[in-house]
Structure 1
Amino acid sequence: MPLHIAYSHPDALRARCEIATVRTTRPEETAYEPGAVVPAGQWRPMTEADVKAVSAPRRPLDSTLTEIVRPPHPEGLPLDDLTRPLGDPDPVYLGQALSKPDMTTTTDHYEEGRLLGLHLDNWDKLRFADKHTGRRRLCLNLGPGTRYIILGTIDAQAVCRSVHPEDYAHRYPHTNDYRAYAANGRPIRILRIRLEPGDGYLAPTEYLLHDGSTEGQDQPSAAAFWLGRWPRGILPSLI
């Protein structure tokens, strides 16, 4: 299943989003892992066709749905308690990450000291047949700056099936599948969604290519993250 976004107001979605494609990094781009997938630039506004393409079906799987939300964060509430009223008795607080200003992508490989580029999470370590059932990630932008979530529109199962046509059913879909897919010249469209301080998202980051971004911003942005199984509509939508 491709990227599906829950929204009620198309204009609000378009006001937050831009579309682009990807490329793989060149050898001289040593800040990134070799062959990393990154935005190709040239972000453009969404068209009506773009909006229709990411519209959620009438009965989407919650585990594959993306929502742009405003998590309630009362003053003085510990961040690791924020998810208590959201319906999952066993959420996992992943902690915080501080992103410098004007970063095209933000996630690095701590052991190697290089940026991952757009990637898949693998907290749940799911095989091909179950990849769409993973937990969703909740993010809260703590500011002070604006940040983006970048999401690929083609899902991990489709990419894995394309890259490994003979044995995909026995695979664990991986970031490297997307890298091979892009390196072979196959197109991947990506969506960049703006998150002001206090905004957040619920997204299937085990299932969709993604990363954070502070491109074009002149302030750093900290974000807090959780994993859980939350039903659609549990948090107020911003769109």
Structure 2
Amino acid sequence: MNLAIAHIDPAALMARCETTGVRIAGGEPEYEPGAVLPAGPWQPLTSDLAARLKPTAQTADSTLVELVRLPDGPAPTSLAALADPLGDPDAVHLGQAASPAKALTTTPNYQDGRRIGLHLDNWDKLDYQSKHTGRRRLCFNLGPGTRYLLLGDLDIRTICRTLYRDPVNRYPHTDDLRAYIASGHQIGVYRLRLEPGEGYIAPTELLPHDGSTEGQPQPSTATFWLGHWPRGVLPAIA
């Protein structure tokens, strides 16, 4: 499955998106061994690449990336309640995560504080055959600084099909992404800029991803939910 980013205006997507390849962390003490990182330098998104990112009629809502902004209207009674009217009564607020300024990637291993690089979520504990049906993550940037969403252009099921003769009984994991890159394969990474009040809905159980504040002088805080949302439940920013 190819990465699909919903957008109406290709120029608006191109204005906030760049791309590069990946590398394996090399002796960087702030990263886990084997962590997959953006290689840089970042290149502008071309019109051809923007066209390839366009969803097709076959793109399932559960696999779609959407760039969104906070909804219009009265503020919710609490931040946790923001997702209540979006169509999934069972959506879960995961809380907030503060990210320092100038971080190539943001997610730490909470056992020792080292960053894990591009990774897969596993909240839903899904096997290979079901991985594409997981809940999507809703995230908003609360500021004060700008941050980025990093997304790999290959989903973990495709990666597992390349690595393993019979992936059916596997539970795809970040280790599979690391093994794929360590064996000489490559993926593309897209960096999507999110200003305060902007966010995304993305299948983070399926796509390699992370946050980033690379090059940004201010820290930022992100807040997250998980849910099964239909496409188009929030205003789009691209």
TM-score between both structures, scaled by the size of structure 1: 0.97
Distance, in Å, in 1 between the alignment partners of 2:77 and 2:210 is 27
The answer as to 2:3 corresponding to 1:8 is no
Cα deviation digits, residues 17-71 of structure 1 (max 9, x gap): 0010001111x21211100000001100011221122110024200000000012
Q: CA RMSD in A?
A: 1.1
Equivalent pairs, count: 237
| Percent identical residues | 57
2:19–2:45 CA contact under 8 A, matched in 1: yes
Is the contact between residue 76 and residue 82 of structure 2 (CA under 8 Å) also seen in structure 1? Answer: no
> Residue type of the partner of 1:8?
I
Counterpart amino acid of residue 179 in structure 1: R
Tell me how far apart the structure 1 counterparts of residues 230 and 119 of structure 2 sit (CA, whole Å).
24
Q: Where do residues 170-189 of structure 1 align in structure 2 (5 Å cutoff)? A: 170-189=169-188
Show CA shifts across 1:170-220 (max 9, x none): 101110111011111211101000000000100000000000000000000
CA contact (8 A) 2:10 2:51 kept: no
**For 1:131-170, what aligned pairs fall within 5 Å after superposition?**
131-164=131-164, 166-170=165-169
The residue type equivalent to 2:59 in the other structure is: P
In structure 1, the residue matched to 2:46 is: 47
One-letter code aligned to 2:93: Y
User: Structure 2, unaligned stretches of length 5 or more?
Assistant: none
| Residue of structure 2 in register with 1:104 after alignment | 104
What secondary structure, in the 3-state scheme, does the structure 2 residue paired with 1:157 have? helix
- One-letter code aligned to 2:200: Y
* Equivalent residue number for residue 222 of structure 1: 221
TM-score by length of 2: 0.97
Unaligned stretches of 5+ residues in structure 1: none
Give, in angstroms, the shift of residue 76 of structure 1: 6.3
Q: For the residues of structure 2 that align with 1:225 and 1:238, how far apart are their CA atoms?
A: 18
Q: Which amino acid aligns with 2:5?
A: I
